[in-house]
């Protein structure tokens, strides 16, 4: 009897230990953080402002890959999110831009436009790491994806998440599309009913520190910024009470308060979905959109951008603390990166005699059309977008013209007339090549045989299709648009700084390798951290 009692007690003691050991075999939660338009150097440019619990916690306690790049052009939001989560390039996943020309519809379309315009991932042609987690667990793992931008939520969530939610700038609420749900879950409705957005709209945006402590060395009333909030000035403090009532929620997403609102929503998702509480590894994808909005309006030589990063550091610290409390330190696996970087503010660069300039889109297209009429008796230019020329296949076929010869003749014409163009690639050439993990030809990696144009061009460093003196932008194959932060942190991640060349397509391969699941079906990345050497 005593032996039986002792056996029962021993079993009761061992079961929790066995379960605990099993849980150590995998993280309770994966957290993917994308900071829209975050340049790699922002981690260090603003580091003197950061506390120990935000970005510095990740840098000092994680695996920091300091030379991570996107390997394709165009470097924009939708391709960036798609490439991080699929581990491949637009050549395979099909997301060639935020918007792109659809030959069948004869118009520009959103990368998310599905049936009847409902936002969905149906144009995403490859699986994501979140898809693979769902497949590996027979659907038991929960996947939640949140962002202010629709594309920042839809693409990371993959094809069958438990939820993808983004911000409605008409109401200040988070919502979804009927592709995912007909009715919002109670936790989302409860969050929206609290109207945190109204609370933040009522606040002033003030500098976090005395202005003398900021790195930015341009006037607060800067010529490189817009009077975005319609205040009759560009300097701090910023108030939202001058904007139209029906536009207030739109303007909110262009302030650091939007990042805070997303952290609040992430906390609600953790609790509402009980993420990390089940027997499978769950996934929470978070994309901070505001840095991109501020970059476009104020540029990277602005107090607004610098102050936003100061506040974002504290918000990242708050998010990490919430994760610690929800699933426990060491029980979640996290990565932080960006969907693209951004060029130095063109207006600032020009005024400081740095290389800059423009192609002039209208002049370029008008010139090509005139050449086409002279050469072929017809206008063969159907569209020019994302630095790609779309030829009119219907006319070319009807006139029985040689399309490869036409591509070459247009290329020669462009080369002889437009000094802003540095390289030209034709469809005839690109279709004979194979994309690579390395950035040997970013235009090839960004080309998709089904959706791309017939002639792709690259511009000189610092040049744009059309010059913008206010704010900044992105989209090129140059390092200022491709070099982004990449940090892995938490479960099974060693402390290390790696300075060798890696690519953002490696993120999905790394996460899947750590989870011991199949990588996405078109993944061309490689694992950067081995699950077998860090247990």
Of the chain, the percentage scoring pLDDT greater than 90 comes to 91
Neighbours of 421 (CB within 10 A): 18
Residue 472's Cβ-side half-sphere holds a number of Cα atoms within 13 Å equal to 31
Report residue 480: phi and psi, to 5°: -65, -20
**CATH code at position 252:** 3.40.720.10
CA pair distance 30, 145, nearest whole angstrom: 12
Could you confirm whether 77 is annotated as catalytic?
A: yes
Residue 16 inside a domain? The answer is no
Length of the chain: 535
Q: pTM here? A: 0.94
Selection from 397, 449, 513, 436 nearest residue 136 by Cα: 513
**CATH code at position 447:** 3.30.1360.150
CB 426 within 8 A of CB 404: yes
Selection from 186, 190, 219 nearest residue 298 by Cα: 219
Residue 397 inside a domain? The answer is yes
Same domain, 447 and 495: no
Say which residues have a Cβ less than 8 Å from residue 68's Cβ, sequence separation at least 6. Answer: 40, 337, 483, 484, 485, 486, 502, 503, 504, 506
Q: Which stretches of 167-216 are DSSP H helices?
A: 186-193, 196-201
When pLDDT is cut at 50, 70 and 90, the band that residue 532 belongs to is low
Same domain, 245 and 143: yes
Query: What residues make up the domain containing 380?
Result: 361-419+421-459
For residue 19, the model assigns a pLDDT of 40
Same domain, 398 and 273: no
CA pair distance 144, 445, nearest whole angstrom: 29
pLDDT in tens, 18-27: 444 444 699 9
Residue 525 inside a domain? The answer is no
CA pair distance 81, 508, nearest whole angstrom: 11
For residue 46, the model assigns a pLDDT of 98
Report residue 288: phi and psi, to 5°: -85, 110
DSSP state of 426: E
pLDDT in tens, 379-411: 999 999 999 999 999 999 999 999 999 999 999
pLDDT in tens, 86-121: 999 999 999 999 999 999 999 999 999 866 668 999
CB 482 within 8 A of CB 445: no
CB 269 within 8 A of CB 275: yes
CB 452 within 8 A of CB 388: yes
Residue 6 inside a domain? The answer is no
Tracing tokens 């207030």 back to the chain, one arrives at 248
Same domain, 328 and 444: no
Mean pLDDT of 172-200: 98
When pLDDT is cut at 50, 70 and 90, the band that residue 12 belongs to is very low
For residue 1, the model assigns a pLDDT of 47
Instruction: Transcribe 38-52 into DSSP letters.
Output: --TTHHHHTGGG--T
Residue 210 inside a domain? The answer is yes
Active-site hit among 77, 86, 137, 426 = 77
């Amino acid at each position: 009897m005593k032996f039986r009692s002792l056996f029962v007690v021993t079993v009761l003691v061992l079961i929790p230990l066995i379960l605990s050991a099993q849980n150590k075999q995998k993280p309770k939660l994966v957290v993917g953080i994308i900071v829209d338009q975050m340049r790699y150097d922002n981690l260090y440019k603003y580091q003197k402002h950061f506390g120990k619990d935000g970005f510095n916690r990740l840098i000092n306690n994680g695996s920091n890959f300091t030379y991570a790049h996107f390997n394709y052009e165009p470097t924009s939001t939708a391709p960036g999110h798609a490439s991080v989560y699929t581990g491949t390039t637009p050549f395979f996943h099909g997301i060639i831009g935020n918007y792109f020309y659809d030959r069948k519809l004869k118009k520009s379309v959103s990368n998310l436009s599905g049936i009847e315009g409902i936002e969905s991932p149906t144009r995403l042609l490859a699986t994501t790491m979140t898809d693979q987690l769902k497949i590996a667990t027979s659907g038991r793992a929960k996947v939640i994806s949140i962002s202010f931008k629709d594309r920042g939520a839809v693409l990371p969530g993959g094809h069958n998440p438990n939820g993808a939610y983004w911000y409605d700038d008409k109401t200040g609420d988070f919502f979804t599309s009927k592709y995912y749900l007909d009715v919002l879950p109670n936790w989302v409705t409860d969050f929206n009913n609290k109207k945190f957005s109204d609370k933040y709209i009522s606040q002033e945006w003030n500098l976090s520190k005395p202005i003398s402590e900021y790195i930015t060395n341009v006037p607060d009333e800067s010529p490189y910024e817009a009077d975005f909030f319609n205040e009759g000035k560009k300097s701090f403090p910023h108030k939202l009470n001058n904007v139209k009532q029906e536009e207030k929620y739109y303007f909110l997403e262009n302030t650091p308060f939007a990042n805070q609102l997303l952290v609040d929503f992430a906390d609600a998702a953790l609790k509402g979905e009980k993420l990390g509480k089940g027997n499978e590894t769950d996934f929470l994808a978070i994309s901070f959109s505001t840095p991109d909005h501020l970059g476009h309006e104020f540029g990277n030589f602005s107090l607004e951008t610098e102050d936003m990063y100061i506040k974002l550091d504290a918000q990242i610290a708050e998010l990490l603390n919430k994760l610690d409390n929800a699933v426990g330190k060491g029980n979640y696996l996290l990565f932080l990166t960006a969907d693209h970087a951004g060029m130095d503010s063109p207006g600032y660069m020009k005024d400081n005699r740095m290389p800059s300039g423009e192609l002039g889109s209208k002049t370029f297209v008008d010139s090509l059309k005139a050449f086409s009429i002279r050469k072929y008796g017809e206008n063969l230019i159907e569209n020019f977008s994302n630095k790609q020329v779309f030829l009119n296949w219907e006319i070319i076929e009807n006139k029985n013209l040689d399309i490869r010869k036409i591509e070459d003749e247009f290329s020669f014409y462009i080369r002889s007339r437009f000094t802003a163009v540095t390289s030209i690639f034709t469809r005839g050439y690109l279709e004979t090549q194979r994309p690579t993990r390395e950035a040997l030809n970013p235009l090839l990696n960004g080309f998709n045989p089904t959706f791309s144009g017939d002639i792709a061009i690259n511009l000189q460093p610092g040049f744009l299709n059309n010059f913008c003196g206010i704010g900044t932008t992105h989209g090129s194959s140059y390092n200022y648009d491709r070099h982004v932060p990449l940090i892995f942190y938490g479960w099974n991640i060693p402390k290390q700084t790696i300075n060798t060349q890696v690519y953002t397509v490696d993120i999905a391969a790394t996460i899947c390798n750590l989870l011991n699941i199949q990588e996405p079906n078109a993944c061309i990345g490689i694992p950067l951290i081995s699950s077998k050497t860090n247990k």
